[in-house]
Amino acid sequence: MVYDAFVLLSFGGPEKPDDVMPFLRNVVRGRGVPEERLAAVAEHYMHFGGVSPINQQCRDLLAAVQADFSANGLDLPTYWGNRNWHPMLEDTVAQMRDDGVTHALGFATSAYGGYSSCHQYWEDIDRARAKVGPGAPQISKLRQFWDHPGFVGPHVDAVRQAWEKLDRRAGTRLVFTAHSIPVSMAQSAGPTGGRYTAQLEETARLVAAQAAPDLSYDLVWQSRSGPPQVPWLEPDINDHLAALAEKGVTDVVVSPIGFVSDHLEVLWDLDNEALETAKKLGLGYARAATPNVDPRFVTMVRHLVEERTAGRAQERLGTLPVWDNCPGGCCPAPLRRGSK
């Protein structure tokens, strides 16, 4: 297989106040997210001037990947397209067609399996290609990377650095977080189900073992969305902090292993809400960084490409199975409500 381009696939985010509501409506198309929730999330974005950090993080990652490709003789033009906000993937795919690209490798900014984190990126590709029509390049998504040393390593160092900021008290606990998803979505994640949670459990175990083998740790959830009557993964980090304080925990290191960069959910839901909760409970609190443009993470992107182009061996720390192309029927889309 000959690949002639690389494309970064991401979520997208608003870059000015007027972008916020149209962006949110794109995210929740037909998902039954209540208006109150949308208004609350719009407010989170407005706290940052209507600017999500995610697009700039994508620009930075793409620039670093491009530089790393060049430095290592990998001659692939790079592109970037989003699911929910400009640059929209369909516009990128049109540009790629105009540039003569025939088959690109796509890297999605999520390490895990499941509908939102993996399958929906395949849908984004299909939708963008259908819109562009004849001549649209093929795009093959690179594999999930939850246990790759280039992803685990930066999280390990970040946990160590965050822990350094706390008084080394005996009552310190390591708390990993990831984006909550509907329980039904978690059950149907991966070819045999449960894969999102299982992968996160594996990442948590790998990071904890290298960063802080003496600390007890938990995996909990953040940023719940959706209508209240639909069950999502629990406990929420805020409830969990209260339960820990009750048990005599004195300090927490919070590591958002569910994210590759400091998205708005990290900045708002952790650095604001969870920090506030910890303060009220009298808990010491330190949030660990995400990989962002850590050189090991950037190199990982090239190594994933080279697995496909140059027969590079997979680098893996875990034991769960991994695959390049998701089997059909994997991670079904949730039922849409009132979608057009």
- Residues making contact with ligand HT9 (CB under 6 A): 11, 13, 24, 27-28, 31, 33, 37, 41, 52-54, 109-110, 116-117, 179, 181, 225-226, 258, 263-265
Q: Is 255 helix (H, G, I), strand (E, B) or coil?
A: strand
Give min distance, CB of 41 to ligand HT9, in A: 4
Q: Which lies closer to ligand HT9 via its Cβ, residue 181 or residue 249?
A: 181
Q: Does 52 count as an annotated binding residue?
A: yes
Q: Which lies closer to ligand HT9 via its Cβ, residue 212 or residue 331?
A: 331
Give 120-189 as a DSSP string.
HHHHHHHHHHHHH-TTPPEEEEPPP-TT-HHHHHHHHHHHHHHHHTS---TTEEEEEEEE--BHHHHHT-
Give min distance, CB of 160 to ligand HT9, in A: 24
Give min distance, CB of 118 to ligand HT9, in A: 8
**Whole-number Å distance between alpha carbons of 255 and 290:** 8
Q: Which lies closer to ligand HT9 via its Cβ, residue 283 or residue 330?
A: 330
What is the rounded (10 degree) CA torsion for 21, 23, 25, 30? Answer: -170
Give 279-331 as a DSSP string.
HHHT-EEEEPP--TT-HHHHHHHHHHHHHHHS-PPPP-SS-S---SSPPTT-S
**Whole-number Å distance between alpha carbons of 296 and 151:** 7
Give min distance, CB of 193 to ligand HT9, in A: 16
Q: Does 86 count as an annotated binding residue?
A: no
- Check if the beta carbon of residue 78 is closer than 8 Å to that of residue 278: no
What is the rounded (10 degree) CA torsion for 137, 141, 142, 145? Answer: 160
Tell me which residue has its CB nearest to ligand HT9. 225
Give min distance, CB of 318 to ligand HT9, in A: 18
Q: Does 265 count as an annotated binding residue?
A: yes
Q: Which lies closer to ligand HT9 via its Cβ, residue 46 or residue 243?
A: 46
Give min distance, CB of 208 to ligand HT9, in A: 20
Residue 294 phi/psi, 5-degree rounding, is -50, 130
Give min distance, CB of 247 to ligand HT9, in A: 28
Q: Which residues contact 192 (CB under 8 A, 6 or more apart)?
A: none
Q: Which lies closer to ligand HT9 via its Cβ, residue 74 or residue 183?
A: 183
Q: Which lies closer to ligand HT9 via its Cβ, residue 158 or residue 181?
A: 181
The distance from CA 319 to its chain's CA centroid, rounded to whole angstroms, is 21
Q: Does 45 count as an annotated binding residue?
A: no
Task: Classify residue 246 by burial, with Cβ atoms within 10 Å: 0-12, 13-18, 19+.
Answer: exposed
Q: Which lies closer to ligand HT9 via its Cβ, residue 37 or residue 160?
A: 37
Task: Classify residue 81 by burial, with Cβ atoms within 10 Å: 0-12, 13-18, 19+.
Answer: buried
Residues annotated in a binding site for Fe-coproporphyrin III: 52, 121
Residues annotated in a binding site: 52, 121, 179, 265
Residues annotated in a binding site for Fe(2+): 179, 265
